Amino acid sequence: MSENAAPTVHADKVPLGEHARKSERRESRVAGWLSSALSRGTAMPAIASLVVIAVFFQSQSPYFLSPDNLTNLAVQASLVATIALGEVVVLLLAEIDLSLGSVSGATAAILGVLMASGNMPWFIAVPIMLACGAAMGAFQGWWIAWLGIPSFVVTLAGMLGFLGLQLWILGPQGTLSIFDPNIGALTGSTLPAEAGWIVAAIVAVAVVAAALVRGARGRLTMKSFGLPVVLAALVIAGVAVFNASRGVPTAFLFLLALLVLGWWVTQHTRPGRHLFAVGGNPEAARRAGVPVRRIRFAAFTISGTLAAVGGLLAASYNASAGTLTGGGTLLLEAIGAAVIGGTSLFGGRGSVWSALFGALIMGGVANGLDLTNAEQPVKYMVQGAIVLLAVSLDTILRRRQSRGRQIGGVHV
Amino acid sequence: MLNEGTGRRLRRRRPVPPPPGDPLGGGEALRVVAVTKWFGSVQALDQVSMAVNHGEVVALVGDNGAGKSTLVNVIAGVTAPDAGEFYVHGEQVAIRSTDDAATFGIRTVHQEQTLADNLDVVENLFLGRELCRGVGPLERVDFAAMRQRAQAMLSGLGITTIADIGSPVAQLSGGQRQTVAVGRATLENYPIVLLDEPTSGLGVAECQRVMELVLRLRAQGAATVIVSQNIDEIFEVADRIVVLHLGKVGAVFRRADTTPEEVVGAVMGMAS
């Protein structure tokens, strides 16, 4: 995605040196560059899939790419993308978190109790809710990091336990209405057109200026300058589309801010880089002095917090917290989104942007099928097929790439 | 400590004791006393004691299973010993983790499990010791400075086999990977360096580089422990040779006073 994207590896399970030794003899600069560009571009298959989906559904329904529908899609995708972001953080460690749906449901219920029954203002209730999500994640992280219990088991227990907590909090009536306009505004409101343009201008100028500042230090190449320009153009185009409808959705802007923060932390901070190191080789990371346990603990705390943010978005969207909040296929869609977006289940490879792309693919397909009046069973089957296809494509691309190195040729 | 290249501060959690003022003075750097380690019913280390002085290279030799790697792992904080005492610069310390070992200025090059395949050469070199810039929430990893330092280090060692230090180490050959692992020991002036079979898998020229590196460490006043199976190598660099046999110290030789035959005899358990 970015020129700072993690150097990624396809050889999760390939014996080391096998192909590297052969390729060493035929080291060609061009082949090396292409190969590393390919392996860094974890988002490429996801972007290609998005284009295919857009073209296909537009041909089926002219409403699909309309500004109104794209705005709805952006709001709907924000919830899945937020949970998927939490899943990405954990997947980078080669762990998994099955409890995110239940945590978002339970924290939404907590929010409902605090606001509906406790009459708390939102600026007190929301921090408490987020802290509860963090605590649930931290609790699971403690079992995983310090007792060494597999995350699959701990979070499976968490999924059941926190679902129980959610139902217990909601009690017999099952649903708590949240009428607070501030909560509702999170998913219900959009930026005024002028504000949207101002945000677009600031982001575009900042991105290009940052690239120019780097360039002034003598590192301006087409590679490093092309991406910021494309990014700036995308931001402006995005705002133009949203403004043609109701304006930039607040929820989507919020999601993008979360993603930029996540990108900064994973790509540019020590703990973020350690996340990749532990995911790549936990024992090597430990021996090099990386605080592996603290990193694992922190990752689950973060995923729990993000699940609570997802619960907040769900409560806002539905104006209530119910027994079904955070349930259904939400968790599986989030894991699917992270993986479709290009984050490896084997750890150490991926990016926070995969949460966005994956959620847009999942949401786009569901939305497109709705527009073409497909039935729910069909939707599930198509979504399942897409998860399978996306991961297969990813795996085949990577295998091909390594074989390409081996015979010295370049497959693109 | 400042990074010469950029003048930026090297970040670390706790300060490492500085190398001794008189590099060739030869004060004691590390002493382990009566280290014992059981793996289940197997005793890997039995009351092993040894010491290394500054400006000295101690070779640790022994047959497979003699306990060489276990001893290195114990000193490096990777394996917790069942008993034993550690002294760094004469002071008793507790080494409970790799972090502790780093705090006492101990840098280890392990035989295996040294690199994260998904990270590039630069990040692997600095793994756990990343250079950072900025303060507070804006503190960030300084990739440019790390790259610069890595390049300077590799060319300083005369290593030309790694063409692109930005490529993931999964794409490197076994020898190149080993070069990266050994290179870590030279990024800063570590007072105590442990090398567990640093030349395994390396070509002739690369082996020579590693031997030069060990001699350079000695000249800088570092206390170096090197595990090796190669008797020629040992006689090239070691000042003292500690022979481990079935988890015990079988014999200790000064290189000047011994012969390869005598050392091999001790390795096979035929010493007095």
Domains and CATH numbers, chain A: 18-34+42-189+249-407 (1.10.3470)
From chain B, the residues in CB contact with A35 under 8 A are 171
User: B253 forms bridges with which residues in the sheet?
Assistant: B241
- Does the structure show a pLDDT above 80 at A28? no
Distance from CA of A264 to the nearest CA of B (A): 9
- Does the structure show a pLDDT above 50 at A9? no
Instruction: For A339-368, write each residue's pLDDT tens digit.
Output: 888 888 888 888 999 999 999 999 999 999
Give residue A258's pLDDT. 96
A interface toward B at CB cutoff 8 Å? 4, 6-9, 11, 16-17, 20-21, 23-24, 27, 32, 35-36, 39, 264, 268-270, 273-274, 276-277, 279-281, 283-291, 348-349, 405
- Does the structure show a pLDDT above 60 at A32? no
CB contact under 8 A, B119 and A280: yes
Residue B157 falls inside a structural domain: yes
- Does the structure show a pLDDT above 80 at A400? no
Instruction: For B101-147, write each residue's pLDDT tens digit.
Output: 888 889 999 988 889 988 999 999 999 888 999 888 888 999 989 99
From chain A, the residues in CB contact with B116 under 8 A are 276-277, 280-281, 284-285, 348
Residue A158 and residue A99 in contact, taking contact as beta carbons nearer than 8 Å? yes
- Does the structure show a pLDDT above 50 at B272? no
Compare CB distances from B119 to A7, A11, A264 and report the shortest one's residue: A7
What string of DSSP letters covers A317-348? HHTEEETTTT-TTHHHHHHHHHHHTT--TTSS
Distance from CA of A281 to the nearest CA of B (A): 5
Residue A386: CB atoms within 10 A of its CB come to 19
Compute the average pLDDT of residues B149-160: 82
User: What does the DSSP 8-state code read for residue B17?
Assistant: P
Residue B176 and residue B125 in contact, taking contact as beta carbons nearer than 8 Å? no
- Mean confidence (pLDDT) of chain B: 83
Compare CB distances from B128 to A276, A279, A290 and report the shortest one's residue: A290
Give residue A383's pLDDT. 84
Residue B257 identity = D
B22 to chain A, any CB pair closer than 8 A? The answer is no
Choice among A94-108, A143-157, A369-383 with the minimum mean pLDDT: A369-383
Give residue A112's pLDDT. 94
The proportion of chain A whose per-residue pLDDT surpasses 70, expressed as a percent, equals 83
Going from the C-alpha of B208 to that of each of B3, B107, B112, B151, B199, the distances in angstroms are 28, 21, 21, 20, 9
Interface subset of B 105-164, CB within 8 angstroms of A: 108, 110, 113-120, 123, 127-130, 132, 139-141, 143, 163-164
Residue B245 and residue B62 in contact, taking contact as beta carbons nearer than 8 Å? yes
Residue B10 falls inside a structural domain: no
Compare CB distances from A268 to B127, B141, B168 and report the shortest one's residue: B141
Distance from CA of B127 to the nearest CA of A (A): 6
Residue B186 sits in which domain range? 28-267
Please state the domain count of chain B.
1
CATH number at residue B232: 3.40.50.300
Compute the average pLDDT of residues A93-105: 96
Residue B5 falls inside a structural domain: no
For Cα atoms B236, B237, B241, give the angle at the middle one, nearest 5 degrees. Answer: 100
CB contact under 8 A, B172 and A20: yes
Q: Which structure tokens are listed for A239?
A: 């705002």
Residue B84 falls inside a structural domain: yes
Residue A320 and residue A111 in contact, taking contact as beta carbons nearer than 8 Å? no
Compare CB distances from A289 to B98, B132, B177 and report the shortest one's residue: B98
Give residue A215's pLDDT. 73
Compare CB distances from A269 to B141, B170, B172 and report the shortest one's residue: B141
Compare CB distances from B118 to A8, A274, A290 and report the shortest one's residue: A8
- Does the structure show a pLDDT above 60 at A27? no
- Does the structure show a pLDDT above 80 at B54? yes
Choice among A164-168, A273-277, B158-162 with the minimum mean pLDDT: B158-162
Give residue A397's pLDDT. 63
Distance from CA of A197 to the nearest CA of B (A): 28
Between CA B263 and CA B256 the distance in angstroms is 12
Give me the sign of the Cα torsion angle B195, B218, A285, A20: negative
B171 to chain A, any CB pair closer than 8 A? The answer is yes
From chain B, the residues in CB contact with A270 under 8 A are 11, 130, 132, 139, 141
CB contact under 8 A, B127 and A285: yes
> In A280-324, which ranges are E strands?
320-322
Instruction: For B77-91, write each residue's pLDDT tens digit.
Output: 999 999 999 999 888
Chain B residue with the nearest C-alpha to that of A288 = B128
Residue B121 falls inside a structural domain: yes
From chain A, the residues in CB contact with B108 under 8 A are 287
Compute the average pLDDT of residues B213-228: 89
A:B CB pairs within 8 Å: 119
CB contact under 8 A, A277 and B176: no
Show the 3-state SS of B49-93: EEEEECCEEEEEEECCCCCHHHHHHHHCCCCCCCEEEEEECCEEE
Give residue A173's pLDDT. 81
Interface subset of B 47-76, CB within 8 angstroms of A: 76
From chain A, the residues in CB contact with B120 under 8 A are 7
Distance from CA of B117 to the nearest CA of A (A): 6
CB contact under 8 A, A27 and B166: no
- Does the structure show a pLDDT above 90 at A139? yes
Give residue A409's pLDDT. 31
CB contact under 8 A, A9 and B118: yes
CB contact under 8 A, A276 and B108: no
Residue B11 falls inside a structural domain: no
From chain A, the residues in CB contact with B172 under 8 A are 17, 20, 24
Give residue A220's pLDDT. 57
From chain B, the residues in CB contact with A349 under 8 A are 118
Decide the pairing of beta strands B91-93 and B83-88: antiparallel
Chain B residue with the nearest C-alpha to that of A277 = B116
Residue B247 falls inside a structural domain: yes
Compute the average pLDDT of residues A99-119: 94
Residue B4 falls inside a structural domain: no
Residue B255 and residue B241 in contact, taking contact as beta carbons nearer than 8 Å? yes
Residue with more model confidence, B41 or A133: A133
